[in-house]
Each structure stands twice: as C-alpha cells, then as structure tokens.
Structure 1
Amino acid sequence: MGRGRVELKRIENKINRQVTFSKRRNGLLKKAQELSVLCDAEIALIVFSSRGKLYEFGSAGITKTLERYQRCSFTPQDTSLIERETQSWYQEVTKLKAKYESLQRTQRHFLGEDLGPLNVKELQNLEKQLEGALAQARQRKMQIMIEQVEDLRKKERQLGDLNKQLKLKLEAEGQNLKAIQSLWSSNVAAGSSNFALHSSSQSNITMDCQPPEPILQIGYHQYVAVDHEGTSSTIPKGMAGSETNFIQGWVL
C-alpha cells in the first residue's frame, strides 16, 4: 500500500513544532543553495521563526537581490498610476498658484494699487471690505484701550492700598518716635536736676571745708584785749602801742 496524503496543519505540540521547524529550515536552506549552484539562479531566502529569530540565505546578497526585485516589480499599471498622480499634483499646484496670484492682487487692491482694471461694482465691493476691516480694527483698538484702562485702574487701586499701608506704618513709627523722645527728654531733665543738686551740695561742702582766704585791710588792726575777769574789749591798734607792745603798721 502507498503512503497516504498528509494533511498540512499547525502542529499543536510546542516541542514537536520546534523540532519540525529546525529540520525543515535546514532542508529549505540546503535546497536553496543547491538550486542557486545547479541552475545559476539568484536566490534570496528570509525566514523568521515564531520567536522572532532571523534566518537568511542570499546567493548574491540579500540587499542586492531585494533592490533587483524592487526594480522589476513595477508594472505598466503602476507606471500609469504614477502618471495620474503626477498629473493630479500638477493640477493642484496650478490651482494653488492661481489662488496665490489672486491673493496678491487683492492685497494690492487693499493698498490702493492697480485699481485701473476694476469696474464700479468691484470698487464698491472693495470699499465695503475696507469699511468692514476698518470697523473691526477700531473695535479691536477700543477693546485693547478698555483693557489697558482697567489694568491702570487696578494698578492705581493697588498703589492706593500700598500708600495707605505705608501711611499707617509711618504714623505708627512717628508715635513710637515721639514716645521715645518724650521719655528721653524726661530722663535728661531728671538727670540734669540730679546733677545740679549734686553739684550744689558738693560746692557747699567744698566751701565749708576751704580755709578762710586772706583779706586785704587798710588801717589799724583791731586788738582784742582780755582782762583778768575774762571780758574782752576792742581798741584801735595805735592806742594800745605802749601797753601791748604790738607791732604797728600795715598788715596784709
């Protein structure tokens, strides 16, 4: 009996699948090499395993064979498709160019240039467009000015609040300075009065302790005579010359 046909399907057993892949991969690479040698064919073989490993064979190099494949893979249908795409891009460029020229012409009209070819209706439309643009510009200008005024008012309020805070702080500092000055003045006054009393007391003590200063006297010294009973009498010095044997003259 002959061998029956084997149904090709995915091998469910992981180990059997890996063994089968290794065997058939090696056989496939060997057959490709034999075919390239026997038939002088340019063969490129690329195999990725289920785990992502790469196995390749190229009789003339993988890169060279792939470039040759890309050059030979274009068909007349592809060429016509490229031509159609080129024509479509050319038309698009033509439209964009015309639109660009129209915008440039409109810009010159807005600037007041090249108005000769325009008729009355076109000039009226241009006037309306300019008036609309002018109204929008004025509206935007007023909006910006209002915003700036609001910002300035906000800054003014902030500066006013800051000024009030600084004023209150300055008044508090002034009150503290006045209190310090009054306290200092009272301390200075008390110190000066104590110093005056101390100085006067010191001067009195000094005056009491100093000996009597010599006195310049012109005339006769008064002579105090003491009798035997203990009474004293003052007589001029000249009259007591013979009795007391006191030296007459000027005495400093």
Structure 2
Amino acid sequence: MVRGKTEMRRIENATSRQVTFSKRRNGLLKKAFELSVLCDAELALIICSSTGKLYEFASSSLQATVGRYLRHTKATHHLQPPSHRHELHLVQNEATSLLDEIESLEVSKRKLLGEGLGSSSYEELQQIEKQLERSLAHVKARKYEVYKEQIEQLKEKEKYLTAENAKLAKKCFVQHELRQSSAQVGEVSTHLEHNSIFDIETELFIGPPKSIK
C-alpha cells in the first residue's frame, strides 16, 4: 500500500493535530537517540508544544550541550556578518530563556516529588498540595475507568467460557448417547445370536429317533 504524501500545512482539527504531534515527537526523539548512539554524537533536542509543554532529549547533559553551543557561537561571533550576528544573538537569548525554563521545570518537578521544599513558602506549598490533589483525582478517575474496562473484559470472557462449556457438555452428551446406543445394539445382537443357536439345536433333536432296520 502506497503511503499518501502529507501536505505541509497546519492541521486544523485539534485532536488530529495533537495525535500527529505525539507521533512525530516520539519519532523525532527516537531518531535523535539513534543518531547519538550510532554516530557517537552529542545531541540536545528541545521541543515546545502548542499547549506550552516542553520536551527535551540530551545524549549527555542538555545544559552542557547548550553551553557548548553558546561558547562556540561566541567564538565565531566576530567572523559573522552583522545580520548573522543579530540572528545568533536572538538564538542565544532564546537558548538562555529555554535553559531558565528547563531549570524552573526541574525545580517544580523535584517539589512535586517532595524534594527541595525547604525554601518553599506556605502559599507555594498550598499550591503544590492542590496540584497533587488534582493529579491524584485524575489518577483515581483513570484507575476507575481501567477497573470498569477490566470488569467488562472479564464478563465477556465469562460469556465466552460459558458458551464453550455448553458446547463441550453437548458434545459429551452426544458421545454418551452414541456409546449407550452402541452398547444396546451389541446386547441385541448377542441376544439374537444366542437365540439362533438355540433354535438350531432344538431343530436337530425334535421328534423320536428313527428306528434302525
């Protein structure tokens, strides 16, 4: 089957756009990992979704790779024309902003795991607690959905096994009836054979013996 060519434009449907983003993002992260392993390359990949979520991959350390990039661009900065220097400056600012955002996300992640709470204020701890409660509510809701799905699967399995059991019981009943029928036919045949032999013997000895002259 020939795969159709994808038109390079924004996907209008939000659900389709999110599904495509998830698939392409996973494929991109996989390719980045393969490139780092196969070619021993130092990679740093940053993806920002339209919803504001940040995804990253680094073969060693993201901060170290970005820092290496910034040092390299600074070293070659004087060799670039003014327009390129401006572009590099914008890229450097964006990279610095992303590093700050990554660090902030790492701090938030550690706090959600219960680490590094010593510097948190009472209001911040309340926000973390509410966020954890919301996350727990989502987990419980999903757990209940999975529980219901498993119950439905078990019910379907029970129906299938009941049907199979009925088939086997019917098959066993038919085989039992056939065996009983065969046994009855055997008994009748034996009885008929026995009566035939008896009739032959009585025919041979009926009447007085003939006198011998």
Q: Give TM class, smaller chain.
A: 0.3 to 0.5
TM-score by length of 1: 0.41
TM-score by length of 2: 0.47
Pick the structure with more helix per residue: 2
Bigger Cα Rg: 1
Structure with larger RCO (C-alpha < 8 A, sep 6+) = 2
